[in-house]
Structure 1
Amino acid sequence: MEFRLLGPFEARHDGRPVEVGSRRQERCLLGVLLLDVGRVVPTDRLIDLLWNGRPPATARSAVQTYIGRLRGSLNPYGVRISTRGEGYVVEEDGHRVDVDEFADLVRAAGRAADPTERVRSLDRALALWRGPLLADAADDELRDRLLGTVEELRLVAVELRAEAQLALGQHTRAVAELMPLAAQHPTREHLVAVLMTALYRGARRADALRLYRATRELLVADFGVEPGPRLREVQRRVLAGDDRLDRVDRPMHEIRVGDESLPWSVGGHPALDFCNTLAGWGHEPLLPGAEWLRGYRTLAVWAGHVGLVDEVSTNRLLHLARRDPKAAEAVLDEARTLRAALYASLVDPDDGPAFEKVARAAEAAAPTLVFRREADGRGRWWPDLAAGLRLPVHAAAFSGAQLLADPARFTVRVCPDRRCGWLFLDESGLRRWCSLGTCGGRAGASCRSA
């Protein structure tokens, strides 16, 4: 079965419409259960939602009646509504729900490095949107209580698609799609910033500035606040005719390895390039595209690219991640936490807690290392496959500990551009920037010692 909740409620079997729920509340009840497929929804919650906190005395028996009717309609199509404890659950039997598909496509687009792939995923996601959630079965109050994040996710999807369109030079299409949304959400600053950029690229500088002025006036009048730093920065660049608005909003060059987009290696040491998988360390909030470790696969491919693990290990990690994606995501979170501690240790020698975190991670990595003889006769420590999915984290921790114990640590410098903030070795004492090809020395100051 296929259930469509984004817009008027629809149910289909093998592409053909199926009549389910002759009453609005029956369709609404089924919609609530479908938003939590495979999870029990307590009867008390169903009652509270269906009657907006004002249930009649007969509410519980009414819910039982609705469930009976829904079972009669859906059982012939293999949809099971089970009673469990004090609630009901729609069993996971391969049925499709457009809300889940929509969220999966938006998340996949967020992980995609290629803007063409991102647009493709978001086009598919937004094509599922036929209107507000349960448009013919729920009112606005109930819709907000059910899943207020669905509308937010739609706006995020439109913004992500517009940014990808800008990366592909499709600013005219971005303007056409964002204009009506900006009118509906005039104080949504991220949306306005993307639209201003699109207008600027379409030689509509005056319109971009007019949009900023209207947004600022609303923010001040309604909330008593000035626009945030990103929106102010876009306005400043529009006024200055800054050519960076004509380029993709990503300050670094990238390389492609195994179909993964990785940051250009400029640090001169694997531990530094591990830190450099995040850009704009000094920029709050982080700029779009700052996070290069979009998924565990990226982490594994990156570790192989910089030589922390060998090719056999990389392929094994990719296989393990496909088998257990949840465990892989947990390891990715661990890697990001280690990265933050290592960066803090390198830029601030007095940060004892950060140093301790790196030290504990290196201690955990040590038992997993094996000493192997290389083809040239030299020996090298390699993380062992027995470490499983955590192998890249162990490799990065050991590399970071080696650098912290090496005199070369005192030659680490920080790129001063807040859009970059990358670390690199400067043993000559002559380099001003991490790489002219990376940020171009736009900050107007030399790199400081880490």
Structure 2
Amino acid sequence: MEFRLLGPFEARHGGRTVEVGGRRQERCLLALLLLEAGRIVPIDRLVDLLWDGDPPDAARAVVHTYVGRLRTALRPYGATIATRGGGYLIEAGGHAVDAAEFTAAAHDAARVDHPDDRVRLCDRALDLWRGPLLADLAGDPLRERLGKDLDDLRLTTEELRAEALLGTGRHDRVVADLIPLAQEHPARERLIGHLMTALYRSGRQTDALHLFELTAKALAADLGVEPGPELRTLQERIIAGDPRMERPAVPVYAVRVRDQWLPWAVGGHPALELCNTFAGWGGPRMPGAEWLRGYPALAVWAAHQGLADEPTVNRLLREAERDPVAATAVLDEARELRADLYACLTDAADVRAFEAVARRAEAAARLSVYVRDADGLGRWSLSREAGLRLPVHAAARSAAELLADPRRFTVRACPSARCGWLFIDHSGRRRWCSVATCGGLTPDECARE
């Protein structure tokens, strides 16, 4: 059973709305128990919340009656309310509560580092927010007591999302998302700072400075304080046209494809480019070296390398959004294939690595079909049955082709301890990667290592 508490109260089962509780207070009581799912809620607390500290003499008896009615209404759907230790408890398992899902997704977003992953998790959380907690059941006093932490978490999640979007140059989306929130929360400095930055990067310097003045007035009126040092510094940089206010720095040797940063293609073959999605193979794993940080990056990379077409990638991204757990598992497979392929190409005697790549290539072959293109030429293509694994199968097939090609004997690895990226050297004279892909070293510095 599914319960929606963020916005108007709603109970659903099998995709249909279910009527639970004939009275507003009954539904409110159920919501109070759902917010504390898995924990005992003392009856005194329920009484206090339902009547806002001014209960009638028969309040406890009324609560008992409400619980009885709710038990009857919920029984067909497998949800139960237990009496425990002077209170009531609804089990945490067997049903979904949007408030709990929102909280979990928001906390997950705060724990990840990559901006694209953070945006995805923030979106997952914010998509659950249909409005204020119990919009049709709770008055402002009760909502202030129950939902303040949720409201704060929602705004924090909006700020995290805006920060991640700014970090990847998507300031236009930040402007669209934060203007309504800034009007509602003019004294929230972090939110205002992100919006000021987005406005400035959109060529709206005057609007950014006007927003600062509105926030300064709101802080003075509501709290009797001035804007903090970070917001004041931001104002000064906007006035001065400080270069640090411009778009975020592009990652070294990166290309923007859709919403993903991918490394420059320097290997000369898709199988080598797969290996090169991790910088620093030859030494300690540097922060930020991993390019395949999420399934969307893998799918977009496959299209960028010509291993999948754009409609296929669109479909894969939709499937990944519907099943993020499966998408994460496929991403792990891609990284395993990458490590085995790298070992194959740098050590011809590594039989284990070769066999691991071979097994994946055989799996790809079983899902391949021979099709005719619009130009009349035939080609091998992967069946839709490959599902989310299509990029892995495509990369494995490309790897098998390279391993059967004499060009594999011309593959070189940059010997720098901070590089190790692979490239095809037809001349036999190149020793170092051509664009210092070792993460910021110049070619001379790379050579000295």
Regarding TM over 0.5, the answer is yes
SS in structure 2 at match of 1:54:
coil
CA offset at residue 4 of structure 1?
0.4
Asked if structure 1 preserves the Cα contact closer than 8 Å seen for 2:169 and 2:247, the reply is no
Asked if structure 2 preserves the Cα contact closer than 8 Å seen for 1:252 and 1:264, the reply is no
Name whichever of 19-28 and 229-238 sits farther off: 229-238
How many residues align? The count is 267
SS in structure 1 at match of 2:216:
helix
Match of 1:21? 21
Match of 2:196? 196
Q: For residues 143 and 205 of structure 1, do their structure 2 counterparts lie closer, same or farther at Cα, with a shift above 3 Å needed? A: same
CA distance in 1, matches of 2:279, 2:6: 37
CA distance in 1, matches of 2:166, 2:31: 36
Unaligned runs of 5+ in 1: 266-435, 439-450
SS in structure 1 at match of 2:54:
coil
Q: Does 1:167 align with 2:167?
A: yes
SS in structure 1 at match of 2:88:
strand
CA distance in 2, matches of 1:231, 1:52: 39
Asked if structure 1 preserves the Cα contact closer than 8 Å seen for 2:79 and 2:94, the reply is no
Match of 1:322? none
CA distance in 2, matches of 1:261, 1:71: 55
Asked if structure 1 preserves the Cα contact closer than 8 Å seen for 2:29 and 2:46, the reply is yes
Q: For residues 212 and 145 of structure 1, do their structure 2 counterparts lie closer, same or farther at Cα, with a shift above 3 Å needed? A: same
Q: Does 1:152 align with 2:165?
A: no
Partner amino acid, structure 1, of 2:218: L
CA distance in 2, matches of 1:219, 1:170: 28
CA offset at residue 159 of structure 1?
1.1
Task: From the CA coordinates, give the structure whose radius of gyration is larger.
Answer: 2
Please show how residues 272-311 of structure 1 align to structure 2 within 5 Å. none
SS in structure 2 at match of 1:218:
helix
Name whichever of 242-251 and 71-80 sits farther off: 242-251
Please show how residues 252-271 of structure 1 align to structure 2 within 5 Å. 263=287
SS in structure 2 at match of 1:194:
helix
Unaligned runs of 5+ in 2: 255-277, 290-438, 442-449
Q: Does 1:31 align with 2:31?
A: yes
Match of 1:208? 208
CA distance in 1, matches of 2:97, 2:253: 39
Match of 1:241? 241
Partner amino acid, structure 1, of 2:188: R
SS in structure 2 at match of 1:28:
helix
Match of 1:108? 108
| Identity score, percent | 57
CA offset at residue 248 of structure 1?
3.6
Asked if structure 2 preserves the Cα contact closer than 8 Å seen for 1:252 and 1:263, the reply is no
CA distance in 2, matches of 1:250, 1:193: 21
Partner amino acid, structure 2, of 1:123: D
Partner amino acid, structure 2, of 1:105: A
Partner amino acid, structure 1, of 2:37: V
CA distance in 2, matches of 1:249, 1:235: 20
CA distance in 2, matches of 1:195, 1:186: 11
CA offset at residue 264 of structure 1?
7.4
Match of 1:316? none
Asked if structure 2 preserves the Cα contact closer than 8 Å seen for 1:172 and 1:198, the reply is yes
Asked if structure 2 preserves the Cα contact closer than 8 Å seen for 1:253 and 1:264, the reply is no
Partner amino acid, structure 1, of 2:67: I
Match of 1:274? none
CA offset at residue 437 of structure 1?
7.0
Partner amino acid, structure 1, of 2:151: E
Q: Does 1:185 align with 2:185?
A: yes
CA distance in 1, matches of 2:25, 2:171: 44
SS in structure 2 at match of 1:151:
helix
Match of 2:140? 140
SS in structure 2 at match of 1:148:
helix
CA offset at residue 227 of structure 1?
0.7
CA distance in 1, matches of 2:90, 2:285: 40
CA offset at residue 182 of structure 1?
0.5
Q: CA-to-partner distance for each residue in 1:97-151, whole Å, 9 max, x for gaps?
A: 0001001111111112221121111112111111110111111110111131111
Match of 1:52? 52
Match of 2:218? 218
Q: CA-to-partner distance for each residue in 1:293-350, whole Å, 9 max, x for gaps?
A: xxxxxxxxxxxxxxxxxxxxxxxxxxxxxxxxxxxxxxxxxxxxxxxxxxxxxxxxxx
Match of 1:71? 71
Match of 2:335? none
CA distance in 1, matches of 2:288, 2:100: 35
Match of 1:91? 91
Q: For residues 261 and 96 of structure 1, do their structure 2 counterparts lie closer, same or farther at Cα, with a shift above 3 Å needed? A: farther
CA offset at residue 217 of structure 1?
2.3
Match of 1:417? none
Q: For residues 236 and 180 of structure 1, do their structure 2 counterparts lie closer, same or farther at Cα, with a shift above 3 Å needed? A: same
CA distance in 2, matches of 1:150, 1:22: 27
